[in-house]
Amino acid sequence: MQYSKKVMDHFMNPRNMGTIEGASGVGEVGNPQCGDIMKIYLDIDDEGIIKDVKFKTFGCGSAIASSSMATEMIKGKTIHEALELTNKAVAEALDGLPPVKMHCSVLAEQAVKSALLDYAKKNNIVIPELENYEFDDAHEHEHEEE
Ligand code: FES
């Protein structure tokens, strides 16, 4: 299986690994098939800007690289911009993932959305984009890539 240099780099030197004490929002998602788990912590200021992001991933190398890349992509962005982060964008930013590893990037997209949903709940705000978002469709995406 061939991994891009970027995947290897983010796997060997993950960015933003760790946790945030008193985070504005925390998201946790898992893939039932592989058992991997990803947690994302967001620190969001009053203007709705993501000041800091950290992650903890118990999973494969592609999941670690995907979470590392996803945190870099949403750091300093608005909530709205973070909502637009797709697993495809994460995979592309990593110069691609092998087809059987696409679901690892889905986990990153879901973890970010799950953390944003947690933030919304804590602050009594509604994020319309997340109202009908399916958090457990990781294997559907996987089939799409097959
Ligand atoms: Fe499941 Fe990578 S193998 S997240």
pLDDT, one tens digit per residue, over 19-72 is 999 999 999 999 999 999 999 999 999 999 999 999 999 999 999 999 999 999
CATH architecture of 5-123: Alpha-Beta Complex (3.90)
Q: DSSP code of 104? A: H
What type of residue sits at position 69?
A: M
Residue ranges covered by each domain of the chain:
5-123
The set of protein residues with a Cβ atom below 6 angstroms from ligand 1 is 31, 34, 36, 59-60, 62-63, 101, 103-104, 107
Whole-model pTM: value is: 0.92
Query: What interface predicted TM-score (ipTM) does this complex get?
Result: 0.98
Q: Which atom of ligand 1 is nearest to the CA of 107?
A: 4
**How many CB atoms within 10 Å of residue 66?**
34
Ligand 1 centroid from CA 23, angstroms: 25
Residue type, 56: K
